[in-house]
Chains A and B, each alone.
Chain A
Amino acid sequence: MIDYEVDGDGIATIAWNMADRPMNVLNNDSVGLFAEKVQAAIKDAAVKGVIITSKKADFVAGADLTSVTEAKSADEMMQKSWALQSVFRAIEKSGKPFVAAINGTALGGGYEICLACHYRIAADNPKTLIGLPEVSIGLLPGAGGTQRLPRMIGIRNALPLILEGKKQSVDKALAQGLVDKVVPAAELLAQARQWLLTEGPKNTVKPWDKKGFRVADPVQSPKGYETFTAGNAMAREKSFGNYPAVRNILACVYEGLQVDIDNGLKIESRYFVNCAMSPQARNMIRSLFFGINEANKLAGRPAGVPTARYQKVGILGAGMMGAGIAYVSAVAGLEVVLLDSTIEAAGKGKAYSQGLLDKKVARGGMIAAERDAILARITPTVDYADLKGCELVIEAVFENREIKADVTAKAEAVIGADAIFASNTSTLPISGLAQASSRPANFIGLHFFSPVDKMPLVEIILGKETSPECLARAMDYVKRIRKTPIVVNDFRGFYTSRVFATYVNEGLAMLAEGVAPALIDNAGRMAGMPVGPLALADEVALDLMLKVRKQTQADLGDAYRPAPSDPVVALMVEKLGRVGKKAGKGFYDYPADGAKKHLWAGLAEHFPLAKEQPDVAEVKKRLMYIQSIETARCLEENVVTNVRDADVGSILGWGFAPFLGGTLSQIDTVGSATFVAECDRLAQKYGARFTPPNSLRDMAAKGEGYHGPTAKAAA
Chain B
Amino acid sequence: MTDAFIYDAVRTPRGRGKASGSLHSVTPMHLAVTALQAVRDRNQLDTSLVDDVVFGCVEPAGEQGANIARVAAISAGLDEKVAGVQINRFCASGLEACNMAAAQVMSGQSDLTIGGGVESMSRVPMGTSGGAWPVDPAVAFDTYFVPQGISADLIATKWGYSRDDVDAYAVESQKRAAAAWAAGRFKNSIVPVRDVNGLTVLDRDEFMRPETTMQTLASLEPSFKVQGEMFGFDAVATQRYPEVERINHVHHAGNSSGIVDGAAAVLIGNAEAGKRAGLKPRARIRSFASIGSEPTIMLTGPSFAAEKALKRAGMATTDIDLYELNEAFASVVLRFMEALNISHDKINVNGGAIAMGHPLGATGAMILGTVLDELERTGKSTALVTLCVGAGMGTATIIERV
Asked whether A254 and B243 contact (CB < 8 A) given A220-B130, A234-B231, A234-B232, the answer is: no
A401 within 8 A of B: no
Instruction: List residues of chain B with CB within 8 A of the CB of A619.
Output: 242
Chain A residues whose CB sits within 8 angstroms of the CB of B246 once the complex forms: 596, 598
* Smallest CB gap from B242: residue in A: A522
CB-CB < 8 A to A251: which residues of B?
Answer: 136-138
Question: A455 within 8 Å of B by Cβ?
Answer: no
Q: Supply 17 A–B pairs (Cβ within 8 Å), ascending by A.
A: A220-B130, A228-B135, A228-B137, A229-B134, A229-B231, A230-B231, A230-B232, A232-B134, A232-B135, A233-B146, A233-B236, A237-B236, A240-B239, A254-B136, A519-B243, A598-B246, A616-B242
Tell me which residues across on chain A come within 8 A of B141, comparing CB atoms: 232, 235-236, 241, 247, 250
B333–chain A nearest beta-carbon distance, Å:
26
Asked if B138 and A233 sit within 8 Å, CB to CB, the answer is no
Q: How far is the CA of A687 from the CA of B182 in the complex (A)?
A: 68
Q: Is the CB of B137 within 8 A of A232?
A: yes
Contact indicator A254/B242 (Cβ below 8 Å): no
Contacts of B140 in A (CB 8 A): 228-229, 232-233
CB of B180 closer than 8 Å to a CB of A: no
Closest Cβ of chain B: how far from A243's Cβ, in Å? 11
The prevalent SS among residues of B at the interface is loop
Pairwise interchain contact B137-A247, C-beta atoms closer than 8 A: yes
Give every chain B residue within 8 A of A616 (Cβ-Cβ): 242
Do A518 and B232 have beta carbons less than 8 Å apart? no
Chain B 94-138 per-residue mask, 1 if CB under 8 angstroms from chain A, else 0: 000000000000000000000000000000000100100011111
- Number of residue pairs spanning A and B whose beta carbons lie under 8 angstroms apart: 95
Query: Are B137 and A254 touching (Cβ within 8 A)?
Result: yes
- Check if A225 sits within 8 Å of B232, measured CB to CB: no
Q: Is the CB of A522 within 8 A of B134?
A: no
Binary flags per residue of A223-263, CB closer than 8 Å to B gives 1, else 0: 01100111111111110110000011011001100000000
Contacts A236-B141, A250-B141, A516-B243 given; does A229 touch B135 at CB 8 Å: yes
Q: Which residues of A contact B231 (CB under 8 A)?
A: 229-230, 233-234
Q: Provide the bound-state CA to CA distance between A219 and B147, in Å.
A: 19
Residues 209-232 of B contacting A (Cβ, < 8 Å): 231-232
- Residues on B close to A: CB < 8 A? 127, 130, 134-138, 140-142, 144-147, 231-233, 235-236, 238-239, 242-246
A225 touches B242 (CB 8 A): no
With a cutoff of 8 Å between Cβ atoms, the chain B residues found around residue A238 in the complex are: 232
Closest Cβ of chain A to B8, distance in Å, is 40
- Among the listed A224, A236, A248, A517, which residue makes an inter-chain contact with B236, where contact means beta carbons less than 8 Å apart? A236
A526: Cβ under 8 A from any B Cβ: yes
Taking residues whose C-beta sits less than 8 angstroms from the other chain, chain A's interface range is 35 or more
Q: Is A523 an interface residue (CB 8 A)?
A: yes
Q: How far is the CA of A230 from the CA of B232 in the complex (A)?
A: 7
Whether the pair B239, A241 counts as a contact (CB closer than 8 A) is: yes
Within 8 A of B (CB), among A43-76: none
Task: Tell me the smallest distance from the CB of B391 to a CB of chain A, in Å.
Answer: 15
Contact (Cβ within 8 A) B243 A236: no
Contact, CB under 8 Å: A518 / B245: yes
By a CB distance below 8 angstroms, the chain B residues around A233 are: 140, 145-146, 231-233, 235-236
Of the candidates B136, B144, B236, B242, the one whose C-beta lies within 8 Å of that of A523 is B242
Whether a CB of chain B sits under 8 angstroms from the CB of A613 is yes
Q: Which residues in window 584-630 of A have CB below 8 A to B?
A: 596, 598-599, 613, 616, 619
Contact in complex: B135, A236 (CB < 8 Å)? no
The residues of A that contact B238 with a CB separation of less than 8 Å are 518, 522
Give Cα A598–Cα B147 distance, bound, in whole angstroms.
24
Residues on B with beta carbons closer than 8 Å to the beta carbon of A523: 242
B242–A228 CB distance below 8 A: no
Which residue of A225, A235, A236, A518 contacts B134 across the interface (Cβ within 8 Å)? A225
Q: How far is the CA of A574 from the CA of B145 in the complex (A)?
A: 44
Tell me the bound Cα distance from A337 to B14 in angstroms. Answer: 79
Chain A positions within 8 Å of B144 at CB level: 236
Contacts A233-B236, A235-B232 given; 18 further ones with Cβ under 8 A? A228-B137, A229-B135, A229-B147, A230-B231, A232-B135, A232-B137, A233-B146, A236-B235, A238-B232, A241-B142, A251-B138, A518-B242, A519-B242, A522-B239, A523-B242, A526-B239, A598-B245, A619-B242
* Residue of B130, B146, B236 most packed against chain A (CB within 10 A): B236
For A234, list chain B residues within 8 Å (CB): 231-232
B233 engages A613 (CB within 8 Å): no
CB-defined contacts of B136 to chain A, threshold 8 Å: 228, 251, 254-255
Q: Residues on A close to B: CB < 8 A?
A: 219-220, 224-225, 228-238, 240-241, 247-248, 250-251, 254-255, 516-519, 521-523, 526, 596, 598-599, 613, 616, 619
Q: Are A237 and B232 in contact (CB under 8 A)?
A: yes
Structural contact, A518 and B235, CB atoms closer than 8 A = no
Point out which of A519, A522, A619 has the most chain B C-beta atoms below 10 A from its C-beta.
Answer: A522
Provide the bound-state CA to CA distance between A254 and B134, in Å: 12
Return the chain B residue nearest A247 by Cβ. B141
What 5 pairs between A and B have smallest CB-CB spacing? A233-B232, A237-B235, A250-B137, A522-B242, A237-B232
- With A233-B236, A247-B141 as given contacts, are A518 and B135 in contact (CB-CB < 8 Å)? no
Q: Within the assembled complex, what's the spacing in Å between the Cα atoms of A517 and B244?
A: 9
Given the complex, which residues of A lie within 8 Å of B142, measured CB to CB? 241, 247
Residue of B nearest to A229 (CB): B134
Q: How far is it, in angstroms, between the C-alpha of A220 and the C-alpha of B243 when the chains are bound?
A: 36
In the docked arrangement, what's the CA distance between A251 and B137, Å? 5
* Chain B nearest CB, measured from A329 CB (Å): 39
Of listed A235, A237, A241, residue having the most chain B CB within 10 A: A237
Across the two chains, which residue of chain A brings its CB closest to B231?
A: A230
Among B136, B236, B243, find the residue whose CB has the most chain A CB atoms closer than 10 A: B243
The chain A residue with its CB closest to the CB of B141 is A247
Shortest CB-to-CB span from A638 to chain B, Å, is 38
- Complex Cα distance A598/B146, Å? 23
Chain B, residue nearest A518 (CB): B245
- Closest chain A CB from B264 CB (angstroms): 29
Measured between beta carbons, the chain A residues less than 8 angstroms from B134 are 225, 228-229, 232
Closest to A244 in B: B141
- Identity of the chain A residue whose Cβ is nearest the Cβ of B246 in the assembled complex: A598
* Chain A, residue nearest B233 (CB): A233
B135 and A254: CB pair below 8 A? yes
In the bound assembly, the distance between CA atoms of A231 and B239 in angstroms comes to 16
Q: Determine the distance from Cα of A250 to Cα of B235 in the docked complex, in whole angstroms.
A: 18
Known pairs A225-B127, A233-B146, A518-B242; A247 contacts B232 (CB<8 A): no
Instruction: Choose among B135, B239, B243 the residue that contacts A613 (Cβ–Cβ < 8 A).
Output: B243
From the candidates B130, B138, B232, B244, name the one contacting A236 in the complex (CB within 8 A). B232
CB nearest neighbor in B for A615: B242
Q: How far does the alpha carbon of A585 sit from the alpha carbon of B233 in the complex, in Å?
A: 28
Minimum CB distance partner of A219 in chain B:
B135
Q: How far is the CA of A205 from the CA of B145 in the complex (A)?
A: 40
Query: Contacts of A517 on B, CB cut-off 8 Å?
Result: 245
Closest chain-B Cβ to A23's Cβ sits at a distance in Å of 33
Shortest distance from the beta carbon of B402 to any chain A beta carbon, whole Å:
47
Cα of A598 to Cα of B245 in the assembled complex, Å:
8
Measured CB to CB, the nearest residue on chain B to A222 is: B127
User: CB-nearest residue of chain A relative to B244?
Assistant: A518
Hey, which chain B residues are within 8 Å of A219, CB to CB? Answer: 135
A247 surroundings in chain B (CB, below 8 A): 137-138, 141-142
Closest chain-A Cβ to B316's Cβ sits at a distance in Å of 27
Neighbouring A residues of B146 by C-beta, 8 Å = 233
- Chain A residue with the shortest CB-CB distance to B237: A233
**How far does the Cβ of B23 sit from chain A's closest Cβ, in whole Å?**
24
* Chain B: CB-nearest residue to A609: B243
Once the chains are docked, how many angstroms separate the CA of A521 from the CA of B147? 25
Q: Closest A-chain residue to B136, C-beta based?
A: A254
| CA A231 to CA B137, docked complex, whole Å | 9
CB closest residue in chain B, given A515: B243
Neighbouring B residues of A521 by C-beta, 8 Å: 245
Whether the Cβ atoms of A232 and B242 lie closer than 8 Å is no
Q: How far is the CA of A236 from the CA of B231 in the complex (A)?
A: 10
Closest Cβ of chain A to B124, distance in Å, is 14
Q: How far is the CA of A235 from the CA of B142 in the complex (A)?
A: 11
Complex CA–CA separation, A519 to B239 (angstroms): 10
